[in-house]
A and B are shown apart, each in its own frame.
Chain A
Amino acid sequence: MSIQNPDIKNKKCFHCGEDCTENSYRLDEKYFCCNGCKTVYELLNENNLSNYYTIMDMPGVSFKGVHSKRFDFLDDDEVISKLVDFKNEEIVIINFYIPQMHCSSCIWLLENLFKLNPGISNSNVDFLKKNLEVKFSHNKISLKEVVELLASIGYEPNIQLDSLDKPKRQINKTLFYKIGIAAFCFGNIMLLSFPEYLGINIADVYYQKLFGYLNLVLAIPVFFYSASGYFTSAFKGLKKKIVNIDVPIAVGIIILFTRSSFEVLTNSGAGYFDSLTGLVFFLLIGKLFQEKTYEFLNFERSYKSYFPLAVHVKVNETEKAVPVSNLKMGDRIIIRKSEIIPADAILFKGNGNIDYSFVTGESKPVQKVLGELIYAGGRQLDNVIELEVVKEVSQSYLTQLWNNDTFKKKTESYFSEFSNKVSKYFTFAILLIAFAASLYWMQFDTGKALNVLTAVLIVACPCALALSIPFTLGNSMRILGRNKFYIKNTGVIEKISKISSVVFDKTGTITKPGEAKIDFIGPELNPFQKEIIKSLVSVSTHPLSNAICNYLQVGKTYEVDDLIEHAGKGLEGNVLGNFVKIGSLNFVKEDFVDDNRTDSDESNDISSQVYLSINNQILGYFNISNSYRSGFGNIVEYLGSKFNLSILSGDNESEKENLNKIMGKHADIRFRQSPSEKLAYIKSLQRTNKKVLMFGDGLNDAGALAQSEVGIALTENVSYFSPACDGILDASGFNKIPKFIEFSNISIKIIYLSFVISFLYNLVGLSFAIEGMLSPIVAAILMPLSSISVVTFATLSTNYMAKRKGL
């Protein structure tokens, strides 16, 4: 069995690949960093699933930082019926979102769940969506047991409040059908048009007729089904008095179809069915390219994705799991260590030590004493507390933000402003040319006038124009995605290129969460002093203690006697006969008496200074300041020269000087901003005609992110919660922000250039059309050629520019 072994150090955990420490485990010549990892290994081994470790090295999910949760609420029938996708007398099918999924070993293990429990009959992974579909027999295993099983092997499903009312994501297959049909018809019509292209003079009119009618039959599904989207979109646009780019396309398609049908039916020509179907096919491909989405990401999250689904309520001295949405005023709830407080509540029992960093931006945990009001969203860091709910979930201080109108407006059209503007002028210009040319021909030949009118409208159909935007932006979006900057849709790139103001949140966005910069101010400590301090702080779970503990790079620790932890003040204890005190200045001072009263001014103290005394002699203090993300200075320098910079922090002013030093004079820095103040600040910028790009990370930024032209959520792990936004940026890509902005600008310029190219083609086509010389073969060559060259240009140039920018 497992033996603790000192030479385990410097080994990597066999399960998750983390470094092992002295307290690690060894089993079968393998090392494990923690008990969790070892347990999984044992479990898998017992069930002949050790293959898990052969597909990938160290595939496991670390158990560090994972809080064991309780899933009692999954016994509730109401909850179950809302979560499952299908249920009959025997089986249940349910889909889980599993953010931990990351490698092929994960897929293998999750698809072999049936080996762990015979009640599970089938499990199926969709890796790109991080989705696991489980089919199990609910007579043999309950939903709660399935979830617990997943959690026990490190793949805890993400079940939050919004899992209940999430509409099941339906994949839109229509576009695939449309493309398939268009491709089929396009290919066959091309084939049947070959005799016409080659100018083979077939003696028999019979074949000409046959090919013509076949083409017509093949074109009908393309016209009525594949192209239908363009008609409805053009119609909708015209109804709103907007000439969007689909209007000239729809006009072109209709004219193409009617004129070709007319020619075939009257036997006066071969028609342009090849051009028509080719055009529709290319347009649809462009649409497919643009519609790429990051399926594993969710850009529409609200507080509901952050809040737990259920909470334990105390009813008559017993605990019962109750869905959070059913919480009522006066309910007595029980919050355990590292659980989230779901509603505004009053502390009733226990010690509150609440981490609000994600909710309000305060970087330090807040101490709460009995009778104090605790806002929803905080995470309890100490042991169990009991609270009485004073407001329902949807009415609490934080969640009220979502009642703001900002969250209701977002209905964007998929057309960019820019393409609408271009297509308006374009359409009018084409109509003008068409009528002028036909008027001219009217003088000589009425038949030819009609011919020219339709030919101009056909050849001017802005296929290349319509393709340049999806291909440029679609490709740019992929390039950004490769650099871990995931945007919601291609329109975001256009918006980024227009911004004039950049706003940052502080905590978690420009500072690293959970990391602090520590300096000891005072005479240097000798190794022995460091050891005794470390001995003391290593006993405490307080974040500041942890930070200091990590800072002190010494190995040995000793036993601590008479340890007393004064909540919100500090620690004291005896280490090898030395009386050590560490904490706030007042506490460390010799004459300190613990009067059992947390002095709230002190816990909100601006400075983060932890004083130290050994044997009642103050030696100095640890100065703890935020540690900024690497590259922040460069970003400020770059952005400051081009845009208005602001920093909105929900935290106190302790970082003011540091920030001023980094930001220089460019920036407007504001502290103690509430979520709604942040929103209001963005609005006030917009009133001065600023286009705002906002970076944030927490729930408190949600309003500001939604209000900004472009709101980008920064996150350490893209699979975990991030507020609703236009783009999600992985923290590792933070220092590339200037490049992202430059690249967005370049993408827009590439679009301009491809517009020019497509106009040139149009010019050539128009010259044919005006002269009345547009034969089917000219159209059939010119239209695909222009489309293909625009697409190639857009794709290659974005790739090239990305390479030059180092993306």
Chain B
Amino acid sequence: MSVIVVLIAVSLLVALGFLIAFLWAVKSGQYNDTYTPSVRMLFDNENKDSEKEK
């Protein structure tokens, strides 16, 4: 019987973890700009060595 109590406690804890993750994401500004990162990730990451290529 008490296993249900444990399960509920665990599920609440996991959910709480996600809530905290969400609040942190908002606080750290990840929702400030919802467009630019989607473009930015498509740019080739050219480091110093890529200068030879072109």
> B15 contacts which chain A residues (CB < 8 A)?
184, 187-188
Considering the chains assembled together, what is the distance between the CA atoms of A780 and B11 in angstroms?
Answer: 22
- Report if A48-B51 is in contact (Cβ < 8 Å); known contacts: A177-B23, A181-B19: yes
Across the interface, A207 reaches (CB within 8 A) one of B4, B31, B54, namely: B4
In the complex, whether B3 has a CB less than 8 A from a CB of chain A is no
**Chain B minimum-CB-distance residue to A204:** B1
Partner of A48 from the list B4, B5, B32, B54 (CB cut-off 8 Å) is B54
B32 to chain A minimum Cβ distance, whole angstroms, is 6
Give bound CA distance, A184 to B11, whole Å: 12
B27 pairs with A173, CB closer than 8 A: yes
**Tally of chain B residues near chain A (CB < 8 A):** 28
Complex interface bits, B11-54 against A, C-beta within 8 A gives 1, otherwise 0 = 11001101100110011000111111001101110100001001
A126-B36, A128-B36, A180-B19 known; A214 vs B26 contact (CB < 8 Å): no
- Most chain B beta carbons < 10 A, residue from A126, A187, A210: A126
Whether the pair A184, B46 counts as a contact (CB closer than 8 A) is no
A207 to B5, CA, bound (A): 9
Q: In the docked arrangement, what's the CA distance between A129 and B5, Å?
A: 49
Closest residue of B by beta carbon distance from A104 = B39
- Which residues of chain B are near A184, meaning CB under 8 Å? 15-16, 18-19, 22
- Which residues on the A side are within 8 Å of B35 (C-beta)? 127-128
Shortest distance from the beta carbon of A783 to any chain B beta carbon, whole Å: 22
- The answer to whether A192 has its CB under 8 Å from any CB of chain B is yes
* Assembly CA distance A177 to B25 (angstroms): 10
- Rounded to whole Å, the gap between the CB of A256 and the closest CB of chain B is 22
Q: Could you tell me if A108 and B1 are in contact, using CB atoms closer than 8 angstroms?
A: no
Q: By the criterion CB–CB under 8 Å, are B4 and A126 in contact?
A: no
Q: How far is the CA of A55 from the CA of B43 in the complex (A)?
A: 8
Q: With an 8 A cutoff between CB atoms, is A84 at the interface?
A: no
Majority secondary structure of chain B interface residues (helix, strand, loop or mixed): helix
A108 neighbours in B (Cβ, 8 Å): 43
Say if the beta carbon of B10 comes within 8 Å of chain A: no
The answer to whether B42 and A104 have CB atoms under 8 Å apart is: yes
A128 to B23, CA, bound (A): 23
Judging by beta carbons under 8 Å apart, are A107 and B44 in contact?
Answer: no
Instruction: Say yes or no for A440: interface residue by CB 8 A criterion.
Output: no
- Mask, A160-198, CB within 8 Å of B = 1, is 000000000001010011001100100110011000000
Query: Smallest Cβ distance from B33 to chain A, in angstroms?
Result: 5
- Which chain A residues border B16 with CB–CB below 8 Å? 184
Contact of B34 among A51, A104, A107, A128 (CB under 8 A): A128
A159 at the interface (CB under 8 A from B): no
Is B22's CB under 8 angstroms from A180's CB?
Answer: yes
Given the complex, which residues of B lie within 8 Å of A214, measured CB to CB? 8, 12
Contacts A51-B44, A128-B34, A128-B36 known; A180 to B1 CB distance under 8 Å?
no
Write the chain B residue with the least CB distance to A55.
B43
A107 touches B19 (CB 8 A): no
A523 CB to nearest chain B CB (Å): 59
Instruction: Kindly state the separation between the CA atoms of A51 and B32 in the bound complex, as whole angstroms.
Output: 27
Q: Which residues of B contact A55 (CB under 8 A)?
A: 43
Interface string of A512-553 (1 = CB under 8 A from B): 000000000000000000000000000000000000000000
Tell whether, in the assembled complex, residue B40 and residue A111 are in contact, meaning their CB atoms are under 8 Å apart.
Answer: yes
Q: Is A92 an interface residue (CB 8 A)?
A: no
Q: Is the CB of A126 within 8 A of B33?
A: yes
Task: Report chain B residues within 8 Å CB of A51.
Answer: 44, 46, 54
Q: Is the CB of A107 within 8 A of B36?
A: yes
Cβ B26 vs Cβ A177 within 8 A: yes
Chain A positions 98-130 with a Cβ under 8 Å from a chain B Cβ: 104, 107-108, 111, 125-129
Question: Known: A127-B33, A180-B26. Is A192-B8 also a contact (CB below 8 A)?
Answer: yes
Please indicate the chain B residues that have their CB under 8 angstroms from the CB of A446 in the complex.
Answer: none
Instruction: Give A181 to B51 CA distance when docked, in angstroms.
Output: 48
A229–B2 Cα gap in the complex (Å)? 39
Q: How far is the CB of B27 from chain A (nearest CB, A)?
A: 7
A127 with B8: CB separation less than 8 A? no
> A300 to B22, alpha carbons, bound, how many Å?
33
Instruction: Enumerate chain B residues within 8 angstroms of A204, measured Cβ to Cβ.
Output: 1
By the criterion CB–CB under 8 Å, are B33 and A128 in contact? Answer: yes
| Closest beta carbon of chain B to A215's beta carbon, Å | 12
For the complex, is A50 an interface residue (Cβ under 8 Å from B)? yes
Taking CB atoms, residues of chain B closer than 8 Å to A192 are: 8
Q: Tell me the minimal C-beta distance from A54 to chain B in angstroms.
A: 9
Which of A125, A171, A188 is close to B36, meaning CB atoms less than 8 Å apart? A125
Nearest chain A CB to B26's CB is how many angstroms away?
Answer: 5
* Chain B positions within 8 Å of A104 at CB level: 39, 42-43
Which residues of chain A have C-beta atoms less than 8 A from B39's C-beta? 104, 107, 127
Q: Is the CB of A210 within 8 A of B19?
A: no
In chain A between 241 and 261, which residues have their CB closer than 8 angstroms to a CB of chain B? none
Q: Which residues of A contact B32 (CB under 8 A)?
A: 126, 171
Shortest CB-to-CB span from A261 to chain B, Å, is 20
| Chain A residue with Cβ nearest B21 | A180
Q: A104-B39, A107-B36 are in contact. Are A173 and B44 (CB under 8 A)?
A: no
Quote the shortest CB–CB distance from B37 to chain A (angstroms): 10
> Which of chain B's residues have a CB closer than 8 A to the CB of A187?
15
A96 → chain B closest CB, angstroms: 15
Partner of B54, one of A50, A125, A188: A50
Task: List chain A residues, Cβ under 8 A from B51.
Answer: 48
Q: Is the pair A180, B23 in contact by a Cβ cutoff of 8 Å? A: yes
Is the beta-carbon distance between B26 and A176 smaller than 8 angstroms? yes
CA distance in complex: A126, B8 (Å):
42
Q: CA A106 – CA B7 in complex, angstroms?
A: 51
Measured between beta carbons, the chain B residues less than 8 angstroms from A127 are: 33, 35-36, 39
CA distance A107 to B11 in the complex (A): 42
Closest chain B residue to A126, Cβ basis: B33
Distance A88 CA – B32 CA, assembled complex (angstroms) = 25
The CA-CA distance from A654 to B52 in the complex, in Å, is 64
**Chain A residue at smallest Cβ distance from B27:** A173
CA distance A761 to B22 in the complex (A): 34
State the Cβ distance, B52 to closest chain A Cβ, in Å.
10
B-facing residues in A50-102 (Cβ within 8 Å): 50-51, 55
Q: Which residues of A contact B31 (CB under 8 A)?
A: 173, 176
Chain B: minimal CB distance from A361 (Å): 37
In the complex, residue of chain B having the shortest beta-carbon distance to the beta carbon of A211: B8
A107 to B26, CA, bound (A): 23
Chain A residue with Cβ nearest B52: A48
Q: Are A210 and B36 in contact (CB under 8 A)?
A: no
Q: In the complex, what residues of A have CB within 8 A of residue B46's CB?
A: 51
Within 8 A of B (CB), among A17-63: 48, 50-51, 55
A-B contacts, 12 of them at CB < 8 A, read: A48-B51, A50-B54, A51-B46, A104-B42, A104-B43, A127-B35, A127-B39, A129-B33, A184-B18, A188-B12, A207-B4, A214-B12
Interface residues in chain A, defined as those with a beta carbon under 8 Å from any beta carbon in chain B: 48, 50-51, 55, 104, 107-108, 111, 125-129, 171, 173, 176-177, 180-181, 184, 187-188, 191-192, 204, 207, 210, 214
11 additional A-B pairs beyond A104-B42, A129-B33, A180-B23, beta carbons within 8 Å, are: A51-B46, A55-B43, A125-B40, A127-B35, A127-B39, A128-B33, A177-B26, A180-B19, A181-B23, A184-B22, A204-B1
The list of the 5 closest CB pairs from A to B, nearest first, reads A184-B19, A127-B36, A176-B26, A126-B33, A104-B39
